[in-house]
Structure 1
Amino acid sequence: MDKKNALRAGALAAGTTLMMLLMSSPALALTRDDGDDPGTGLSVVETLGLYVLAPLALFAVIAGLVLVLDRSHPDHRVSAPGAKGKTKTKAKVAAKA
């Protein structure tokens, strides 16, 4: 019974993919529409800079700002279980009170 369902699902997926490929005709991309004004293409360096380096730089700037402007109290930070960090003792808590 499982093989029958798997074959049915595979046939459905293959049929759907085939229909999507047939419906999207790449030949229509060659005809220009009214008002279509494509610019010059990007070089490889420009493409890598725009789609790889710019997002990485933006991520680095945002992460750096978050780290530099972090104002959270060290006692409220979450650490891994079993990690040796500063912990408040009962004497220090009682002394503050």
Structure 2
Amino acid sequence: MDNKNALRAGALAAGTTLMMLLMSSPALALTRDDGDDPGPGLSVIETLGLYVLCPLVLFAVIAGLVMVLDKSKDRAPKTKVKAEA
């Protein structure tokens, strides 16, 4: 029964994706609109800096602030040592 439902879900997802691709018209993206004034493109270094380096730095800063400002106690469980008589 699970195989039939999985096949039905896959067919539905494939059909929906195909319809979305057929309904969209990427060729219209090449048509310039009135008042459209795109700026200069980005170089490879600028693109990598903007879309790779900046998010990594932002993630590192947020993670660092969370670790530094963490006010909770030590999370490691403390074990009691049995005193030998």
Length-normalised TM-score, structure 2: 0.71
CA distance in 2, matches of 1:52, 1:11: 35
Identity of aligned residues (%): 81
Q: Which residue is equivalent to 2:82?
A: none
- Call closer, same or farther: CA 1:24–1:82 in 2, change over 3 Å: farther
Structure 1 spans left out of the alignment, 5+ residues = 84-97
| 1:24-67 per-position Cα deviation (integer Å, ceiling 9, x unaligned) | 11101100111111111111110110111112222333333441
Length-normalised TM-score, structure 1: 0.63
Structure 2 spans left out of the alignment, 5+ residues = 80-85
Q: 1:78, CA displacement in angstroms?
A: 4.1
| 1:62-82 per-position Cα deviation (integer Å, ceiling 9, x unaligned) | 333441xx373xxx5141335
Q: 1:21, CA displacement in angstroms?
A: 0.5
Aligned pairs, number = 79
CA distance in 2, matches of 1:4, 1:64: 48
CA RMSD of aligned residues (A): 2.6
